[in-house]
Structure 1
Amino acid sequence: MGGRPLGRGRGLQVLPRLFRHLLLPLRIRMSDLAGTYPGMQERTRRPAVVLLLMLLALLAVGAIYGRDFWQSRVQAGEGYTFVADIDRWRRTGRERAVRARFDFSLGPQLQDLPLEIGDWQGADVPQTNIEVLILLEPEQYVYRRYRRSDGKYVWLSIIGSRQAKSFHSPQICYTADGWKTEVASEPIPLQEGEIYGLRLAAEKDHWKHVVLYFYLYPDYLRDANSGTVLFKVTAPLEGSLEETLAVEKAFIREFFESARQ
């Protein structure tokens, strides 16, 4: 009535003071709470930290499985690509993605691997040890002898299965039969990159064998339901260990082209 109306300029001057007046009690109340409950801010921060850690863990798991899923699918479009490793029970630092010339996925096509490959001529060898097949129960089993034109020869053993009991270290068989054995990791150079196998040197009386073997998986996920394939090459020791290994590696290169981490 006797007061002056709020004009435009007057309102702009009053509004900041009005907001300060409204916010002041809020600041006082928050400061009072912080003073009354010193641990309140810490307790308020703790759930946020836990939530952040959980989110980071989920992102890490997603990155791992995303990489496995993505790489397994992307590589599949480039040919016969598998994951090779020296251990059946755990992933090792020797794991490699390897490109093969043939399909080594678990299936009947394993029986169709060529008998003539490069400078090698192969022949199927009948499995006379039926007990091995009964105990291992492999879904696919290939056992052949390949001879090179210079007279060098190797045995190729391929076991494919979804069961863990179908696979065990060849060292177990040799040791159980009285052989002395030594095992080590062995690089196998390819046209590009390299894969790794386990090298087994076995000796009994006048017999000496050199074995190179590794496991093949369809992708990085290593799902047991997708199957695992054991690729094993055995040769009699002729000359030095390095010379025998060179023969085996040359044979393996007929099947596998390149590898990468």
Structure 2
Amino acid sequence: MLNRSTLTAGAVALLLLMGLAAVYLPQLLPAWGGTPTLVASDELTYITDLDFWQRTPRERAVVAAAHFDLQHDLNNVPLTVGDWRGVNEPETNQEVLILLEPEQYIQRLYTDSAGRYLWLSMVGGRSSQPFHAPDICYDADGWQYELGSHATRLDEGGEIYGLWLYGKKQFPDQVAPTEHVVYYFYLFPDAQRNQADGIVLFKLTSARYGTLEETLALHEEFVRTLFRKAGDPAELAHNAGA
């Protein structure tokens, strides 16, 4: 028969298990394929999407490792992330800045220990003028290209989506064509997505390393150094009101 001591010990053990679950279960869910929990108090939480004009089914809430909003200087995004080391390469074509009139325009060249490179462009503005799809420029410059979308799985759970462009152009002085792979998405400071609050374009550009899929995997690796976890924006709004 169960006595009072046995019942008391069982109750204590149950409370301990519940406490451990509360502490460790949120960390284990991503590893088990569960959805990470996002709350309004998460620092550096943004909304990301494929388009800045309208919401798409690929809209996600994402927790970043740095500030990606116009209330902060985008120059403060780290130059060293994972295996990547970056240097600032300011835009030298003043016509670009005159045409786009961005509030912030950051251009960097990152390289890894294998010698591969990625250009990171961050363009911030409070209107639609600074933003346009990269294929507009590639088309105007005579490139042949393909377009698509791609998901990036984040280390702490969830995924965000970006658009990719694979472009090729044969220049007169080159034996083989030049090839570019571009991966980009837009960031908003909150779910309201008001242009006046600012939009940031996050864009990566590189040569093709191996196949297109292998190159996009390289871009994913870089993205994961700056973005931790993602989830449904509706969940974030629900938790904010809780």
The aligned counterpart of 1:141 is 105
% same residue: 50
Contact 1:152–1:247 (8 Å) recurs in 2: no
Alignment of 1:232-251 (within 5 A): 232-251=203-222
125, 135, 148: which is aligned to 1:161? 125
Unaligned runs of 5+ in 1: 1-73
Residue by residue over 1:56-102, the C-alpha shift from the partner in whole angstroms, topping out at 9 and shown as x without a partner, is: xxxxxxxxxxxxxxxxxx84411100000001111000000000000
- For the pair 1:222 / 2:193, whether they are aligned, the reply is yes
- Per-residue CA deviation, residues 168-213 of structure 1 (Å, 9 max, x unaligned), is 0011011100011211111111111100000111111111101000
Partner of 1:92: 56
Q: Which amino acid in the other structure matches residue 132 of structure 2?
A: H
* Aligned counterpart for 2:184 among listed residues 195, 199, 213: 213
Contact 1:178 1:204 in 2 (8 A): yes
> Aligned-pair distance for 1:237?
0.6
Is 1:198 aligned to residue 163 of structure 2? yes
- Kindly indicate whether residue 155 of structure 2 is the aligned counterpart of residue 178 of structure 1: no
SS for the counterpart of 1:164 is: coil
TM-score normalised by length of structure 2: 0.76
Counterparts of 1:256 and 1:136 in 2: how far apart (Å)?
Answer: 26
Structure 1 residue 116 corresponds to structure 2 residue 80: yes
| Alpha-carbon distance in structure 2 between the residues aligned to 1:88 and 1:183 | 17
Residue identity in the other structure for 1:112: N
Specify the alignment match of 1:103 in structure 2: 67
Backbone CA RMSD of aligned residues: 1.1
- Runs (4+) of structure 1 moved beyond 6 Å? none
Q: Distance in 1 between matches of 2:42 and 2:89?
A: 33
How far has the Cα of 1:166 moved from its partner? 0.7
Question: Structure with the greater relative contact order (CA < 8 A, sep ≥ 6): 1 or 2?
Answer: 2
Aligned residues between the structures: 188
Partner of 1:55: none
SS of 2:73's equivalent in the other structure is: helix
Query: Aligned residue for 2:7?
Result: none
Aligned to 1:254: 225
Higher Rg of the two aligned structures: 1
Give, in whole Å, the separation in 2 of the partners of 1:218 and 1:128.
29
In the alignment, structure 2 segments of 5+ residues that lack a partner are 1-37, 171-176, 233-242
Q: How far 1:228 sits from its partner (Å)?
A: 0.3
Look up the match of 1:61: none
Compute the displacement of 1:108 (Å).
4.4
Q: Which residue number corresponds to residue 15 of structure 1?
A: none
Partner Cα separation in structure 2 for residue 88 and residue 122 of structure 1: 27
Matched, 1:78 2:49: no
